[in-house]
Structure 1
Amino acid sequence: MKLEEGRSKFIQAWGSLGSSWGISKSMAQIHALLLSYPEGLSADEIMEQVQLSRGNVNTNVRELINWRLVRKETVLGERKEFFVALHDVHTISQNIMEERKRRELEPVRRLLNELKAATLEGKEEDVKHFQSLLSDLADFVSQMENLTNLMTKINNNNYMKKLIKAIS
């Protein structure tokens, strides 16, 4: 298989997985494209390779920068900006976990805490059921936050990374 064919398959697969992770297919495809190159690509090169509009590329690249998965670089003598993906898998996974925690878990936790603190009126059995649901969900979200924090600590610890790799 030629490199370009493998790269194309990777970009398509990563794009499809992206929607499962809560990001757009376009954002995931651009990320996959940038991951597949050791050096940076310009917006024009990204547009050409993934067949997306300039606006779509610019929006998604900015979002990848916000997720700390891509950085912008300039090259002396070039007017264009180049975008380079982080290639360390542990850093990528940590940044994704932290961003998803910030965007998904923290707002849900705040909502659940607000609802748990509210005085609910209604049929006693229904109120108890709803409060039990809120409590269970709050416990689950707390466990997910703890797991995310644990993964961050593991990713920051070279010894733990080597240990996990050794037992895998």
Structure 2
Amino acid sequence: MKLTEARQQFISNWGAFGTHWGINRTMAQIHALLMISPDALSQDDIMAELNISRGNANMNIRELINWGLVERVIVAGERKEFFSAEKDIWKVVRQIVKERKKRELEPMLQLLDKLENTEGDKKDKHMKAFLDTVGSIKKLSKQADKTLDTMIKAEESWFVGNLLKLFK
């Protein structure tokens, strides 16, 4: 397989994987392109490579910056903005986990806290079933939150070593 074809395949598949991580396909494809590019790229470079509109490129680059996956790069003598992505995949994964935790898990924990304070007769079977379910989900969510915090704070070698111990 030639490099051009391999690059296209990587970008396309990273785009498909990205939809499972909570980002849209184009956003993931831009991220993939920036990860495999040895130099920072301009918005025009990204648009040409991925055949996307200026608005689509602009919106998704901004969102990648908000996620902490892409940064603006100053290129001496250039007036255009350039962009670069983190190349260390461990840092990328930790950043994605951190953002998903902030956007999904933390709001769910806040909702579960609120729902645990539902007023009513605690002896009523409907109330008991509701509170038991909410409590179980909250317990699992808090454990997931602690595990994700550990992963975010951990160094790659420590985390992978401990993860492998679980499967031995």
Give the TM-score of the pair, scaled to structure 1: 0.90
Unaligned runs of 5+ in 2: none
Cα deviation for residue 51 of structure 1 reads: 1.4
Aligned residue runs from structure 1 range 115-126, under 5 A: 115-120=115-120, 124-126=124-126
In the other structure, the counterpart of 2:114 is 114
Aligned residue runs from structure 1 range 26-37, under 5 A: 26-37=26-37
Identity of aligned residues (%): 42
Aligned residue runs from structure 1 range 57-96, under 5 A: 57-96=57-96
Aligned residue runs from structure 1 range 1-168, under 5 A: 1-120=1-120, 124-155=124-155, 160=158, 163=161
Distance in structure 2 (CA, Å) of the matches to 1:38 and 1:166 = 32
Indicate how the Cα distance of structure 1 residues 166 and 81 shifts in structure 2: closer, same or farther if over 3 A, else same: same
RMSD: 2.3
Cα deviation for residue 120 of structure 1 reads: 3.9
Cα deviation for residue 127 of structure 1 reads: 1.3
Indicate how the Cα distance of structure 1 residues 113 and 162 shifts in structure 2: closer, same or farther if over 3 A, else same: closer
Cα deviation for residue 118 of structure 1 reads: 2.1
Indicate how the Cα distance of structure 1 residues 159 and 33 shifts in structure 2: closer, same or farther if over 3 A, else same: closer
Q: How many residues matched?
A: 166
Distance in structure 2 (CA, Å) of the matches to 1:159 and 1:7 = 28
Distance in structure 2 (CA, Å) of the matches to 1:47 and 1:54 = 7
Secondary structure in 2 matching 1:83: strand
Unaligned runs of 5+ in 1: none
Secondary structure in 1 matching 2:99: helix
